[in-house]
Amino acid sequence: MDLKTLYHDLVRFETELWASLDQRLRQDCNLQLTWFEIMQLLGNRSGLRVQDVATEFVITVGGTSKVIDRIEKAGFCRRIPNPNDRRSALLALSPLGREKLEQATPIFEDELARTFRATLGDAELRRMAAGLKLLRVNASTVDDRMTA
């Protein structure tokens, strides 16, 4: 197995998948994938701070804050004072944000199904998911050892 080819195929597939999901969400409901990802997280977990979102997506706090500023300006989320820490705010989807997320979710799921199920069967998808999970767990373990 040529690991360099595997690496290039994986990176290019991720880039192509991101582009197709982003294009479909923009076209069908005027929402970019970056916003959808954050809105989906906020819709599934309450009481998150900007720092929590940044940690979840492994991106900088500054970059996360800027994206959330734009999502908030569009009326899709809001910052609520944090009762446990006056220096931070908690994030919540607005009613408009929940509506947009409900509109976008089936489009996102349809595009994923179109991309994956058109090529791979259930057994292949399960093996792929298990392999990616193992790789991510191992990568985070290596990261933890390097920062310790």
User: What is the tens place of the pLDDT at every residue in 86-116?
Assistant: 888 999 999 999 999 999 999 999 999 999 9
| DSSP 3-state of 76 | coil
Q: What are phi and psi of 113, to 5 degrees?
A: -60, -45
Q: Look up tokens 């908030």; give the residue.
A: 72
| Encoded tokens for 138 | 């191992």
Given this model, what pLDDT does residue 89 score? 93
Over residues 30-38, the mean pLDDT reads 97
Domains annotated on the chain, with CATH: 3-116 (1.10.10.10)
Q: What local confidence, expressed as pLDDT, does residue 136 receive?
A: 87
Question: Can you give the pTM of this predicted structure?
Answer: 0.87
Two tokens, residue 76: 């899709």
